[in-house]
Amino acid sequence: MNDFNSIAPFYNFLEKIGFGDYLQNIRKSYLYNIENKEILLIGEGTGKLLTYFLSLPTSCITIVDSSSEMCEILKGLNLNQRKKISIINQSFLDFNIDKYYDFVSTCFFLDCFSQIDSDLCRDKITNLLKSGGFWFDVDFYDPKNCSFSGYYFKFVMKILFCFFRKSTHLGSHSLPCGPQRFCKNFVLRNKSICLSPPLNANLREKVGS
């Protein structure tokens, strides 16, 4: 299993030097007003998406992250007055709960896994969402055709991916080249494919039960 403990203290710094504010702008650009909702943030890391949700007074947030160091960083984000946030230090693959969510996020999470585990996660997320609930997913991909800046980011990402693979023992061996397995219970509500850096962001709504 991958282990982000060793890089947790440097995670925000690495993101900043590799991508500036770009990734955080992508995370925020898809969020809409989610009040009074059940929210599940999977592999939330240092809490970049969580900080956005903290401004919503009434949502109930569950976070699952397998790294104990990442969970410590999350607990340090001045959450003590917030009664409705639970941080669960567990692998999502072992996560079982008798609850359904209105919004689930997987930001830069699914590309940490082998195809088999990534498919298991997708099935689990499908089952955890309420009908009409939203799944927000952002992941890097390996672009086939590059512009000049695309080559720069391809280079940056190759280095970062090798570094992450070595230091966190990632289950995946490469970034996905194209779209992932079609999710048959979902309708795509918003999508952007960026080239520099190459990433896919999708907001999907679950239809049916």
Beta bridge partners of 188: 204
Among 26, 70, 110, 160, binds ligand SAM (CB under 6 A): 70
What are the Cα distances from residue 24, in Å, to 20, 27, 67, 81, 89?
A: 9, 5, 21, 25, 23
Looking at the Cβ atoms of 132 and 158, the one nearer to ligand SAM is 158
Q: How many CA atoms lie within 13 A of 30 on its CB side?
A: 27
CB 54, min distance to ligand SAM, A: 15
Torsion of CA 42, 46, 50, 51, to 10 degrees: -170
The interface mask with ligand SAM, positions 25-64, x = CB under 6 A, is ------------------xxx--x---------------x
Binding segment toward ligand SAM, per CB under 6 A, in 72-80, 102-110, 140-148, 185-193 = 102-110
Q: At what angle do helices 11-19 and 22-29 cross, to 10 degrees?
A: 100
What whole-number distance in Å separates Cα of residue 174 and Cα of residue 170? 10
Cβ atoms of 120 and 93 closer than 8 Å: yes
Binding mask 81-100 for ligand SAM (x = CB under 6 A): ----------xxx-------
Between 44 and 102, name the residue whose CB sits nearer to ligand SAM.
44
Shorter beta-carbon distance to ligand SAM: residue 38 or 69 = 69
Q: By the criterion CB under 6 A, which residues form the site for ligand SAM?
A: 2, 4, 43-45, 48, 64-67, 70, 91-93, 107-109, 112
